[in-house]
């Protein structure tokens, strides 16, 4: 019999912890959740006060039996799943299956997987925190109710297989509404007048911008106004009227939270949110290092706190002073947002002495990039401010005021180690000038510009918005974005999140009929309720009950109202070759397609063929735009029959008028292969559909 059985979530974490415990201990993995709500039904007993009907997850029977056997052969079982609500719930389910009483002191947590943290955790076990478990149950039950009650409405009115979710639908709504803002945006004209001058002593040139007239701010909206000013300034003298010198400090950013790590990894490393969390998980659970074995490199990566431990603070101080000098260190404390859970520290390196470049050979390229980002951000957060010498010069030409701003780096401080994107600013070097001094005009010109619409969301900016609006928590950002991309409600085009036609139509239906649920305020309010449950201030079943009654009434009302409502489909100019009706445009998982409105009598459907206005460079036929299975566009002549038949034109690049077709054999071979794959996949789907149809007929 062994003294201690420690159950964690993943094998990687188990391997790291094993080396910290003696031979009389055993560490095994639960492989994540082992019990959950059933997929085939709601799984919540509404009549019995919303009692969840948990079942063992399919395929985990042998694992559960193995865990039970190990538990029986152990004097003490410790549940060391992740230190968050999800981890607490997994520990609770494990305790249930292993027959461990709820009041048993068996729960251990550690914010970092180091020898000290693990041994402290094992030495200070506690009871399972049922408040945290209830907060997780409340989220799970509420999301299941919303999904299972609203999704069937989408099945009836749009297509089967679609899903609605409390958080994911709000994220889609934000993206759709941003797209509508962009589409409805009306640009406004504005002008800037720029003056290039040089001082007469050093001949140094620098640029000034027109800011006002007689000390009052002016805005220019048309060429007539600009031409009038340019004419007035034709023979003007330019005199320095004010010089202000100063010093500006720039402070470092706090160490990473989940959200800020995801944003920075997206901007600087071009990592998708899902990838960032996956790589961070491996750094937390442990990486094999030659001298130390499997070692956890960062603290827990799901946190909304910027707090750090005193030990980490002292280690950072020692490293900074030794490497950069005393003047580069500053003991900093960061205020965590009031709505943050603050259960864990900020994301930081677990071992300050393991610098990224020292262990680079033991890391994958992605692990190295993310670890270096986390390491440098944390170290910079404990360093001195960067200091700039600044100068602001006001130059008058007649009654018009021009301003030039300049700055030079005086002390790099934390920027020796870490530079944020926002700090990459360009400033002219402004020479020493005195009030009353005349400067020489080198060039005076005007530039027309137009206001621009708001930018589309990227994964980084969407996470930032979700956090600012209180939607979701650190553990939910990545799965939310992954879900709406997988469902094809949105797609990623050059890092931008763009709603698909399917996403727009689903959002319209949900917003028009479930606006009380699919909105920012309700979703944020529920997050606050979950936080209260976690603190023991609310009972989870009471929260669900108060939500359910009005929600159920809305669902019944919507189902009744939509019962005889048919979606209006756009009629195309393509006749159905089987029955003669004009085909309509419908939306499927992969976008638009043509379907016969006579369904189910006539089940004819076919893809919409997109063409461009440039003729085929080989035969003059129409060029079609098609997509590979990875959604990449390619161009092919309508007369290309494949297998060296018909016109040979096929290319990754959009043809230009008058160009000569000269594709490489490799490109053509790759494209033909892609074409066959897509065709094979489509044929396979049709066969499966036909078999299913035949079975149902029997």
Please calculate the CA angle 489-304-269 and round it to the nearest 5 degrees. Answer: 60
Token pair 């002495």: residue = 353
Distance CA 650, CA 636 (A): 4
Beta carbons of 474 and 463 less than 8 angstroms apart? no
Please report the DSSP string for 265-309 in residue order.
HHHHH---HHHHHHHHHHHHH-EEETTTEEE--BB-S--------
CB contact set of 410 (below 8 Å; sequence gap of 6+): 247, 387, 388, 389
Question: Is 342:531 a contact under the CB 8 Å cutoff?
Answer: no
Phi, psi of 205 (to 5 degrees): -95, 145
Tokens of 430: 């402004």
Give me the catalytic one of 78, 238, 300, 635: 300
What is d(CA 289, CA 301) in angstroms, rounded to the nearest whole number? 20
Residues 6+ apart with CB under 8 A from 187: 450, 451, 452, 453
Q: Which residues does residue 209 pair with via DSSP β-bridges, in sequence order?
A: 194, 403
Buried b / exposed e along 117-149 (16+ C-beta atoms within 10 A): bbeebbeebeebbebbbbbbbbbbbbbbbbbbb
Distance from C-alpha of 296 to C-alpha of 513, rounded to nearest angstrom: 48
Query: What is the distance between the alpha carbons of residues 121 and 662, in angstroms, rounded to a whole number?
Result: 67
**Contact by Cβ (8 Å): 404, 208:** yes
Residue recorded with tokens 């974490």: 13
Tokens (6 digits) for 503: 């996403």
User: What is the C-alpha separation between 258 and 207, in angstroms, rounded?
Assistant: 41
The structure tokens 């689903």 sit at 506
Pairing of strands 605-607, 205-213: unpaired
Residue 74 has, within 13 A of its CA and on its CB side, a CA count of 23
CA-derived radius of gyration, the chain: 32
**What are the φ and ψ backbone dihedral angles of 505, each rounded to 5 degrees?**
-70, -35
CA–chain centroid gap for 167, Å, is: 13
Sign of CA dihedral 238, 240, 242, 246: positive
Beta carbons of 7 and 94 less than 8 angstroms apart: yes
**The tokens 């649920």 sit on which residue?**
517
Beta bridge partner(s), residue 78 = 6
Those residues whose C-beta lies under 8 Å from the C-beta of residue 283, and which sit 6 or more positions away, are 296, 297, 298, 301, 367, 370, 371, 374
How far is residue 568's CA from residue 302's CA, in Å, rounded to a whole number? 44
User: For this structure, is 300 an active site residue?
Assistant: yes
Active site residues: 300
């Amino acid at each position: 019999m062994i003294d201690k059985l420690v159950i964690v979530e993943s094998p990687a974490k188990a391997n790291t912890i094993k080396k910290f415990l003696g031979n009389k201990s055993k560490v095994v993995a639960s492989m994540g959740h082992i019990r959950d709500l059933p997929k085939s039904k709601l799984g919540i007993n509404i009549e019995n006060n919303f009692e969840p009907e948990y079942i063992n997850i399919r395929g985990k029977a042998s694992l559960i039996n193995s865990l039970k056997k190990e538990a029986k052969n152990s004097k003490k079982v410790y549940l060391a799943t992740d230190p968050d609500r999800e981890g607490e719930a997994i520990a609770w389910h494990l305790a249930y299956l292993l027959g461990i009483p709820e009041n048993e002191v068996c729960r251990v947590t550690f914010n970092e997987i180091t020898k000290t943290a693990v041994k402290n955790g094992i030495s200070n076990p506690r009871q399972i925190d049922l408040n945290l478990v209830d907060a997780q149950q409340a989220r799970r039950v509420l999301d299941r109710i919303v999904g299972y009650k609203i999704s069937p409405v989408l099945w009836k009115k749009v297509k089967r297989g679609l899903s609605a979710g409390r958080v994911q639908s709000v994220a889609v709504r934000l993206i759709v509404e941003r797209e509508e803002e962009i589409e409805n945006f009306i640009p406004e004209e504005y002008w800037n007048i720029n003056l290039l001058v040089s001082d007469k002593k050093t001949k140094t040139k620098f640029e000034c911008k027109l800011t006002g007239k007689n000390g009052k701010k002016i805005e220019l909206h048309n060429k007539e106004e600009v031409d009038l000013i340019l004419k007035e300034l034709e023979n003007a003298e330019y005199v320095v009227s004010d010089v202000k010198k100063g010093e500006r400090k720039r402070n470092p950013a706090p160490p990473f939270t989940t959200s800020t790590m995801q944003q920075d990894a997206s901007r600087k490393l071009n990592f998708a949110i899902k990838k960032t969390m996956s790589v961070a998980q491996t750094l937390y659970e442990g990486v094999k290092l030659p001298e130390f074995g499997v070692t956890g490199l960062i603290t827990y990566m799901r946190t909304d706190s910027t707090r750090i431990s005193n030990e980490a603070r002292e280690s950072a101080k020692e490293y900074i002073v030794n490497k950069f000098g005393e003047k580069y260190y500053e003991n900093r404390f960061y205020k965590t947002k009031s709505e943050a859970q603050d259960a864990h520290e900020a994301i930081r390196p677990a071992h300050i002495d393991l610098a990224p470049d020292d262990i680079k050979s033991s890391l994958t390229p992605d692990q190295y990039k993310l670890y270096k980002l986390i390491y440098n951000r944390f170290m910079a957060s404990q360093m001195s401010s960067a200091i700039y010498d600044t100068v602001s010069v006001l130059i008058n030409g007649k009654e018009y005021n021009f301003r030039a701003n300049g700055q030079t780096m005086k002390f790099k401080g934390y920027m020796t180690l870490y530079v944020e994107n926002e700090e990459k600013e360009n400033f002219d070097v402004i020479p020493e000038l005195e009030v009353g001094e005349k400067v020489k005009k080198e060039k005076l010109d005007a530039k027309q510009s137009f206001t621009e619409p708001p930018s589309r969301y990227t994964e980084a900016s969407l996470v930032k918005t979700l956090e600012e609006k209180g939607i979701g928590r650190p553990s939910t950002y990545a799965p939310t974005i992954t879900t709406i991309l997988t469902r094809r409600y949105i797609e990623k085009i050059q890092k931008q999140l763009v709603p698909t036609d399917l996403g727009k139509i689903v959002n319209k239906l949900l917003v028009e009929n479930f606006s009380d649920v699919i909105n920012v305020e309700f979703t944020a309010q529920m997050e606050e309720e979950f936080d209260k449950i976690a603190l023991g201030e609310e009972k989870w079943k009471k929260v669900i009950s108060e939500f359910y009654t009005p929600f159920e009434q809305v669902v019944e009302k919507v189902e009744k109202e939509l019962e005889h409502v048919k979606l209006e489909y756009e009629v195309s100019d393509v006749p159905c070759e089987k029955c003669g009706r004009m085909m309509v445009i419908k939306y499927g998982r992969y976008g638009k397609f043509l379907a016969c409105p006579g369904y189910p009598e006539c089940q004819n459907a076919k893809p919409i063929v997109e063409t461009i206005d440039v003729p085929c460079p080989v035969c003059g036929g129409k060029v079609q735009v098609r997509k590979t299975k990875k959604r990449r566009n390619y161009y092919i002549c309508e007369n290309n029959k494949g297998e060296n038949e018909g016109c040979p034109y096929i290319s990754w690049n959009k043809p230009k008028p008058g160009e000569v077709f000269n594709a490489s054999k490799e490109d053509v071979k790759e494209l033909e292969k892609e074409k066959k794959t897509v065709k094979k996949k489509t044929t396979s789907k049709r066969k499966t559909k036909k078999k299913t149809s035949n079975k149902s007929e029997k």
